[in-house]
Amino acid sequence: MTENEEPTSRHSFSTYLSFGTYNILWTIPTATMSLYMFFFYHTQVGLEPIWILTVVGINTVWASLNEPLIGWLTDKNFKWTRKWGRRFPWIAIGFIPQSLSLIMIFAPPGTVADLGPLPVMIWLLLSLFVFDLFITLVDIHVAILRADKFRTEEERRKYAGHWGFFDMIAQVLGMMIPPLLLFFGQTIISYAIMATIIAFIAIIFGIIFVIKGAREDKIIIDRYYSREYERIHVFRGVLLVIKQRSFMALYGSYVLWLVASTIAIGMVAYLVTFILQSNDPDAMIPFFALFLLGSLISIPFWLKLLKRINNHKKLYVIGSLILVVCYSLLTFFQTDIDLMIIMFLVGFANGCVWTIGMPVLYSNVQDDFVVRQGKNQKGILVGTWAVISLITAFIDEALITTVFTITGFEAGLENYAALVASGADVGSVLLGIRLLLGLIPALVILVGTLIFWKFYPLTQEKVLENKAKLLELGF
């Protein structure tokens, strides 16, 4: 009986449980960044959007070189590999600095009024450098370890159940905990305290993950010394990834979906503060709760529909187009009630992309890469994919900066009263927030959907053909 035919898993229940906690380690800090980084530096620290965009642009260039290189450099055996494994040491080294660097981001030494824009920009840039370095170091090795650790169909089905549970928990915690931790309202000290608590929550779950889930046993370690893991040269590897049509089509679509999601999530703080005119950060929690409820309820629906249609590409396009319509409605809400209904519908439609994108389509793209190269060596592909979050941050903040500049939304305006007192065109500023909440994300997703529909080559027949070739290759 070959390894791929094992009827049961060799991993214990505690291993699956521990590995699933990584979702919380990763999601809570990144969700906090999506919710508050731009809002914090714009309204509290007083940094103009164009300077925030400049910092993020520099960091994006850094990451586009750093992340594929990290994936390639560390995808080899070191002196400690035989004892500790190839992935575990990097995860153990990186998860605590990754968590603590969140505090650095939300604890600048002063405001623009105190220090001027340049020192604040340098602080933010260095903070992002540190954060992205360590989150990349951890996430790349977790992504590869997931495939190396859970190899059989039985193991992957079991892990998928734990992944879904913890991913939902992570999303709930990531969106709802940060507003609850702003104990002193929207002040700089309050954000620093929030980031500190979030960092230590992430470290706790990181310890749980490292103790059991991230460990590599002898079977995994022995594979690292087989010819199966012969490395592809870094420049050739990046070129092969970029030339892979299935990767680039999904990558483009997924980047734009994340851009839209990040813009909309980031606008919720502006929505509550300036449109709903509330100074209570907790006011955004019901909207996130309905969004997440819609997503949770929708998952069985989309999975059942996928089974009936039996076409990943077709359902992904259908779900994405429905999401475009739902996002568009957010611009035109009039009351809290219809806003809550629309947020639920956005969550429901979003469940399609959430369910099919990473778990299914990204796996099919990785299979396609392995089949094309004849080597089960994915470090460079995963490293290239890791750039996605930084490209997302640059595009979404470029769009936010453009709209805020056109509408005259000045930095340092902490609430609606300050906006009115500034003499700005209040109607224009509020329209800009509404567009960023709804129509602009809708158009971004529409462009991504059209790219995917036109260029993604993996039909259902091609997916099955790749699976047959993987069997022939012994992967």
Coil vs helix vs strand at 164: helix
Is 416 found in the same domain as 396?
yes
Last residue of one domain, picked from the residues 163, 197, 229: 229
Mean pLDDT of the chain: 83
Last residue of one domain, picked from the residues 197, 229, 261: 229
DSSP assignment of 253-275: HHHHHHHHHHHHHHHHHHIIIII
Last residue of one domain, picked from the residues 178, 202, 229: 229
Residue 155 is predicted with a pLDDT of 61
Is residue 378 within 8 Å of residue 366, measured between CB atoms? Answer: yes
Is 242 found in the same domain as 367?
yes
- The first and second tokens of residue 112, run together, are 């623009």
Is residue 202 within 8 Å of residue 99, measured between CB atoms? Answer: yes
Is 313 found in the same domain as 177?
no
Is residue 102 within 8 Å of residue 32, measured between CB atoms? Answer: yes
Is 256 found in the same domain as 223?
no
Answer yes or no: is 337 within a domain.
Answer: yes
pLDDT tens sequence across 167-201: 666 766 777 788 888 877 778 899 999 999 999 99
Is 354 found in the same domain as 214?
no
Q: Give long-range contacts, CB 8 A cutoff, 24+ apart: 94-98.
A: 94/134, 94/135, 94/137, 94/138, 95/25, 95/134, 95/138, 95/202, 95/203, 95/206, 95/209, 95/210, 96/203, 96/206, 97/130, 97/134, 98/29, 98/131, 98/134, 98/135, 98/137, 98/138, 98/202
Alpha helix ranges (H) inside 74-187:
81-84, 88-105, 112-115, 117-149, 153-180
Q: Is the dihedral of CA 356, 357, 360, 361 positive or negative?
A: positive
**Residue 254 CB-half CA count within 13 A:** 23
Cα Rg of the chain (Å, integer): 22
Domain that holds residue 264: 234-475
Those residues whose C-beta lies under 8 Å from the C-beta of residue 450, and which sit 6 or more positions away, are none
d(CA 389, CA 397): 12
pLDDT band (50, 70, 90) for residue 160? low
Is 112 found in the same domain as 216?
yes
pLDDT at 467 over 80: no
Is 465 found in the same domain as 426?
yes
Instruction: Report angle CA 326, 330, 336 to the nearest 5 degrees.
Output: 120
Q: Is the dihedral of CA 226, 87, 163, 368 positive or negative?
A: negative
pLDDT tens sequence across 392-434: 778 888 999 999 999 999 888 888 999 999 989 999 999 999 9
d(CA 261, CA 26): 17
Which residue, 35, 109, 79, 108, is CA-closest to 269? 35
pLDDT at 71 over 80: no
Residue 271 is predicted with a pLDDT of 93
Is 219 found in the same domain as 83?
yes
Is 145 found in the same domain as 265?
no
Instruction: Report angle CA 53, 102, 116 to the nearest 5 degrees.
Output: 45
Percent of the chain with pLDDT over 70: 87
Is 472 found in the same domain as 363?
yes
Is 220 found in the same domain as 309?
no
- Predicted TM-score (pTM) of the model is 0.76
CATH number of the domain encompassing residue 308: 1.20.1250
Answer yes or no: is 1 within a domain.
Answer: no
pLDDT band (50, 70, 90) for residue 4? very low
Site of tokens 């036109």: 454
For the residues 5-11, what does the mean pLDDT come to? 57
Is 199 found in the same domain as 248?
no
Widest pairwise Cα distance in the chain? 76
d(CA 178, CA 201): 11
Domain count, the chain: 2
d(CA 220, CA 20): 19
Answer yes or no: is 2 within a domain.
Answer: no
Residue 80 is predicted with a pLDDT of 87
Answer yes or no: is 394 within a domain.
Answer: yes
Mutual angle of helices 460-473 and 363-373, in 10-degree steps: 50
Q: From residue 271, give the alpha-carbon distance in Å to each of 64, 160, 189, 259, 309.
A: 32, 35, 22, 18, 38
CATH number of the domain encompassing residue 97: 1.20.1250.20
d(CA 363, CA 53): 32
pLDDT tens sequence across 91-137: 999 999 999 999 999 999 999 999 999 999 999 999 999 998 898 88
DSSP state, residue 474: T
d(CA 435, CA 99): 33
DSSP state, residue 8: S
